[in-house]
Amino acid sequence: MGYDDLKQHAKDIRKKIILMLNKAGSGHTGGSLGMADVFAALYFRVFEKSIHTDKEDRDRFILSNGHINPVWYAALAEAGFIPEKELMTLRQVNSRLQGHPANIDIPLVELSTGSLGQGFPASVGLAIGYKMDKKKSHVFVGLGDGEMEEGSIWEALMAGAHYKLGNLIAFVDRNMVQQAGKTEEMMALDPLKDKVEAFNWTVYEADGHDFKQIIDTFEKAKNNKKGPSFIIFHTHMGQGVSFVLDNFEWHGVAPDDKQKEQALKEIEEK
């Protein structure tokens, strides 16, 4: 699949995010929009045929920063794993699509997440299991940069390196903002690359809105067998929508009807 096709998928994913959050009246807009390009690349190039719901040894994906699940649900619908019309049930009572990922019969949702810092350690456990069973599959885990403040993240980094998990690929949405403000003002992470490398992980950096960089970096990580890989994707919160862009106040706010129309217009034009 070419880059133009991926751009179209990312555009469609962003539209779905806006529509579902507007219908729900609540949810996390900024981070979801910011990761649309990475998720388009994941589900239409990186995973390719490596994800099949009927295969026990398939590649696995865990969304540790579960609050950005609108982008995940939108990507799953775009790829045909869940019905597109079901997106409009986000956060409704008895819906499969809750405000954070819930392992309730949703294809490819392996683990319920939401409490920050828990999905990453679980992915380490999955990777250890795959290694013990001598399976060739990979475990991917998505993180938020605000989530990196959790102590359990650093314990998982230690464990991943200790067990030399060449089948584990973690990636962080490095948009520099979190719920209450800028990450470097709340709890400074930089130099993030140096810190993670000090835990004996191979670290890559890429523009999270450049499809060539996204795909090339994932491929490098998949080919790294000597130990776990960590990707820092530099992104913009709210990418594609001007009034959300890099604005931490949109961390957990859904667009109203007027904002919905403006957002859809901007996404289409770009």
Q: What is the DSSP string of 102-154?
A: --SS-TT--S---STTSHHHHHHHHHHHHHHTT----EEEEEETTGGGSHHHH
Torsion from C-alpha of 8, 12, 18, 19, nearest 10 degrees: 160
Domain membership of residue 77 as a residue range: 3-269
**Rounded to whole angstroms, how far apart are CA atoms 87 and 95?**
10
Sign of CA dihedral 206, 102, 124, 154: positive
Say what the pTM is.
0.96
Give the model's pLDDT for residue 73: 97
Using an 8 Å Cβ cutoff, are 163 and 157 in contact?
Answer: no
What CATH number did the domain enclosing 151 receive?
A: 3.40.50.970
**Rounded to whole angstroms, how far apart are CA atoms 164 and 131?**
9
Structure tokens at 263: 């957002």
Determine the residue type at 2: G
In the chain, the N- to C-terminal Cα span, in Å, equals 20
For 171, counting Cβ atoms within 10 Å of its Cβ (0-12 exposed, 13-18 middle, 19+ buried), the class is buried
For the chain, how many structural domains are there in total? 1
Structure tokens at 33: 């929009």
Using an 8 Å Cβ cutoff, are 246 and 237 in contact?
Answer: yes
Please report, in tens digits, the pLDDT of each residue of the chain (270 residues total).
789 999 999 999 999 999 999 999 999 999 999 999 999 999 999 997 788 777 888 999 999 999 999 999 999 999 999 999 999 999 999 999 999 999 988 989 999 998 999 999 999 999 999 999 999 899 999 999 999 999 999 999 999 999 999 999 999 999 999 999 999 999 999 999 999 999 999 999 999 999 999 999 999 999 999 999 999 999 999 999 999 999 999 999 999 999 999 999 999 998
